[in-house]
Structure formats: C-alpha cells, structure tokens
Structure 1
Amino acid sequence: MPAVLGSDDVSTAIANLPDWRAFDDSLHARFDAPDFLTAIRLVGEVAVAAEEMNHHPDVDIRWKKVTFTLSTHSKGGVTELDVALAQRISEVASKLSASSVPAALRRAEIAIDCLDPSAIREFWRVGLDLQEMTNPDGEHDLVDPSGTAPAVWFQQMAQPRPNRNRIHIDVYVPRAQAGNRVAALIAAGGRQVTDEHAPGWWVLADAEGNELCVCV
C-alpha cells in the first residue's frame, strides 16, 4: 500500500491536475456536466475505472454537478493511488465535456470545546444520529455515513473558557482560497481572532463573537 503524501508532495503531485484541490487530507473536484444523463455517465465510467484500480472515490451527485472526494482511508490521507485516480477522473470528465468548478469546493464540520469528550460524545451521537469513528490521530469523531451531515469533533480544553462560545464551525477550503475567504469574512463584518496557526487555520468571529475557523 502506498505511503501517505505530505502536503508539499500532494501539491506537487496535483500541479498538473487543475481540476483538483487538496484540503482536509483529501483531493476534491467538482464537475458540471452538460446535462443530468451525462453526469450519470461520468459517474458510471469513473466507477469502471475505480473498479479496475480497486480504489474508490466518494461521489456526490446534485442534478448535473458531480463532486468527487479521494482519500486512502486505510492510510488516513492522500496517496499515489488517489493522484492516479484523480487523473483518470479528469480524463473521463474532459471526454464528456464536463467542466470543473474548483471555486465551489469546501467542507464544514462542527467543533465542540469540552473538558471531557467521553462524557458528552454519546449525547451528540444520539441527538444527531451519527456514528463514532476513530480518526488517524486516535481521536473519536462523529460522522454521517451518508456524508450529507457535517462531522462533529471534540476539542478538549484544559480548563473552562466562559468568555468563549463552546461550539464553532470549521470550514475547509483549498489552500489557495483561504486568504481570500479570510478577507471576505472580515469584509462581511467579522474580525480575525488569531492567525497563530496559519497557514493551517485562521480563527475569525462575527460581530457578536461567534467563531468560525477557516482551515485547509
């Protein structure tokens, strides 16, 4: 099984794949097909290629727009298998005149600050009807197997922080779009709380202090 690629290696590997963006330990691409039937054909031909490679993408179809997400789940990140499949998908999309829409790519998840994740995780799992999953860092997240609801993760605090909201949203965007997203949020009335973790993520807040992290 190929090894996980570092972020610089991923950027180099997809430099000649303009349809694709890398963020959140995955490769992402969205294509706008000429019509619904072509979108279905795109998925069908990609499915054949994926079976040949024994490596399968996550696929989301909304009318004639198709989004592919690639990650080697057993390794917890992007490998050469994902890069090779990304190239095959782009070739099929080009053949079917499905244009890429990279600016539309992003993913959101919910973060809950807490002192003891194990004490509250089951409450949120039941309430949101999610499944528990252990991520590559050994942490326990809650995910929707269908991929339609945002994941929930628990950020352990050393002590209570009463002046900060305990729940915030993380939005993952391609690295090249992160700076523009931060600037747009500030222009929309927000403020930057900290950029000490950039370029991994930026923490921003709205006019009432509700926080949002822009992540890559």
Structure 2
Amino acid sequence: MANDLEKQLLTAAEAQGRAELADWRVLRHYLHATFRTGAMTRGIAFVERIGAAAEELNHHPDVDLRYFRVHLKLTTHSAHALTEADAVLAQEISRIAADMGLTAEPAAPTDLEIAVDALDIPAVQPFWRAVLGYRPVVGPGEDPAEATDLEDAAARGPAVWFQQMDAARPQRNRIHVDVNVPHDQAQARIDAALSAGGHLVSDAHAPAFWVLADAEGNEACVCTWQGREQSVAP
C-alpha cells in the first residue's frame, strides 16, 4: 500500500489543512510532531507501537526518544516531498498517542538549516560535504554533481544548503541559520528574538521567511512553509 501512497504528492497547505493532522506541523518538506510522554518507559512503549504501525504500512518515521517526549519526523525520501503515505502514518501515530493518553505539543517542532552563500557552489560544496561527513540530497531526476543541499546520513545534524551569490559581499556574513518553525509559532519566535536585542532586516518575503539579525548584524531567518510557491529561498 505504501508504494501507491508514496506516489500521491501532498502539498504543505493540503497537509496542514487536514483536521486529522492537527498534532503535526509542516517544516520544509517534513511533517513534525512532538508528544509528551511524561516518562521514559511510556516513551519506549509509544515508540514500539509506532514501529509496529510503520512496519504494517511499510513507511517509516525518524524517531527521537527523550526522557519526557518523543519527537517524530515524516517525509517520503523517494519523492523528496510529502505524500499520502506520510499523512496516513501520521494519522495512525496520533491515534496511538490518543489511545495512550499522550499530549501533543504542536508548538514544539523546530527544524534547523545552515545556509552558505557562495559565488561558486561546486567549488565550495565538496569541502562542506567532506568536513561535515554529509551526503548530497538528490531529488528525482537530479544530477548528484549539481546538488545544492547536503544532509547528515544519520539524520542527526542540521541540513546544509548553498545559496547562489551574484556578487561578493565582503562586509556581510556569508553563513546564516534558517530556523524552520510551525507557521502558527513564527510571530512568537520573531517577537522573542526582537525582545532579546535583535532587529528585523527584512520581511519582504514573509510569511516564507523573515530575515533577522543580532546586535552585530549576524543574520538568521525564521522560516515557515507558507508562501514558498511565491517566494525565493532565504
């Protein structure tokens, strides 16, 4: 069943608009969820039930088991996108959580990316691939030699992507952090950063991303899934 469902692409708006996925938030091309378990033993039992459901559906999540919480991330790697397979498994995980009396924390997910500005991406990408021990992210039909995204094969470290520069910018930092947050938490995160001494550099591409900076001008982007079809990447 999973193979057929993995062919049915799901947009971020479609996924986020489904009532049955209320526990989940779209960050980049992933569905994220956090459930509070209250104890490691309950978390282990939860993960065991998730594992059984994943095997039955032949579709598998990334699972991060912590003392009081379980964090989950879903995507369809073969499509490099969300699909109905992710939605079906997410709904089943929420059902298991409800059956166990676990509390969803939809404001909790965060997905971190590191963006490297480069004039010659093919010249600098191999260095970052080697020094981080990462691998290129290759979508369907893409040439691995032209990959602009890198990922940790163990799915632990933040994603790294390369942004094409059109001219040298010696007075500006050329590495910045993209903080992907739930769309309904973006303003709170921005407000917190501004209250902590930061300032808004640009909201021209909001709600896809807001460019913020600290007191010395080092930049970070607060990003959501919204507006991506109409916006350039940060």
TM-score range, shorter chain: over 0.9
Could you state the TM-score of these two structures normalised by the residue count of structure 2?
Answer: 0.86
Distance in 1 between residues matched to 2:174 and 2:139, nearest whole Å: 22
Structure 2 residue 126 is the aligned partner of structure 1 residue 118: no
Query: What's the secondary structure of 1:104's corresponding residue?
Result: coil
Deviation of 1:97 after TM superposition, in Å, equals 2.2
Give me the whole-angstrom Cα distance separating, in 1, the residues matched to 2:101 and 2:162: 42
Distance 1:130 1:89 in 2: 30
The answer on whether the counterparts of 1:105 and 1:174 sit within 8 Å (CA) in structure 2 is yes
Percent identity over the alignment is: 47
Instruction: Find out whether 1:7 has 2:12 as its counterpart.
Output: yes
Matched, 1:209 2:214: no
Cα offsets for 1:44-103 (capped at 9, x unmatched) = 111111111111111111223111111112122222221111111011112222211222
Q: Is the strand fraction higher in 1 or 2?
A: 1
Give the C-alpha shift of residue 6 in structure 1.
2.1
Where does 1:1-216 land on structure 2 (aligned, <5 Å)? 1=4, 2-13=7-18, 15-135=19-139, 138=142, 139-216=147-224
Q: Which runs of 5+ in 2 are unaligned?
A: 225-234
Q: Which consecutive residues of structure 1, in runs of 5 or more, have no partner in the other structure?
A: none
1:183 aligned counterpart, secondary structure:
helix
Amino acid at match of 2:40: F
Query: Which letter does structure 2 place at the counterpart of 1:93?
Result: A
1:183 shift after superposition: 1.7
TM-score norm. by structure 1 comes to 0.93
Pairs aligned (count): 215
CA distance in structure 2 between the partners assigned to 1:135 and 1:54 by the alignment: 21
Distance (whole Å) between structure 2 residues aligned to residue 89 and residue 106 of structure 1:
19
| Structure-1 residue corresponding to 2:229 | none
> How far 1:175 moved relative to its partner?
0.7
Q: How far apart in 1 are the matches of 2:36 and 2:78?
A: 30
> What do you get for the CA RMSD once the two structures are aligned?
1.7
Residues 109-137 of structure 1: per-residue CA shift (max 9 Å, x gap):
11110001110112112212222222569
Deviation, 1:145, is 1.6
Letter in 2 for 1:10: A
Distance 1:130 1:89, change over 3 A: same
Could you tell me how far 1:17 is from its partner in structure 2? 2.9
Task: Identify if the C-alpha distance between structure 1 residues 135 and 203 changes in structure 2 by more than 3 Å, giving closer, same or farther.
Answer: farther
